[in-house]
Structure 1
Amino acid sequence: MEQDNLPNSPAPPPTPFWRSRGGTVLIAFLAIGGLLLGYEHRAHIFSGDGVLIALLVACIAMHLFMHRGHHGRNNGDSGRGDRS
């Protein structure tokens, strides 16, 4: 008897969106759009006293540090509590 045809065999885990074809296309479009946006606004980005660059670096750093707590919690609990 083959193990693959048993009715109680677990289903394979679903593929995450970012690994699917649509997710890959979305990432590519966002990357191209970001590059074009940066290219068109390069005069504004690289001029001035660096306030814009400091703001962008601060936003990226806050995003990375704020998501530090998400690693390792994969139990499906959103952490917001039950408000029903």
Structure 2
Amino acid sequence: MNKHRGGFWLSARGMAALGLIAAASYFLLMEHRDHLLAFLPYAILLACPFMHLFMHHGRHHGVQSQEKDKHDAGGPHAH
């Protein structure tokens, strides 16, 4: 089996998939533009909670972050 260094998206199958995705996106936009534009305000509102979930990933609010700040500043928990 011949593996490409560029990964799936640079292989022949990946390029074919990108072409199909581009064609489907084009026809979706051309044929259903009115429906998509009507959904746009709801999409923006739905994006807010998802952005909050994914952009705060790894951040711990509350006591844990305060203890980490003390540790980083050389406080009593520093080693």
What TM-score range do you get, normalising by the shorter chain? 0.3 to 0.5
- The alignment's TM-score, normalised by the length of structure 2, stands at 0.44
- The alignment's TM-score, normalised by the length of structure 1, stands at 0.42
Q: Which has the higher helix share?
A: 2
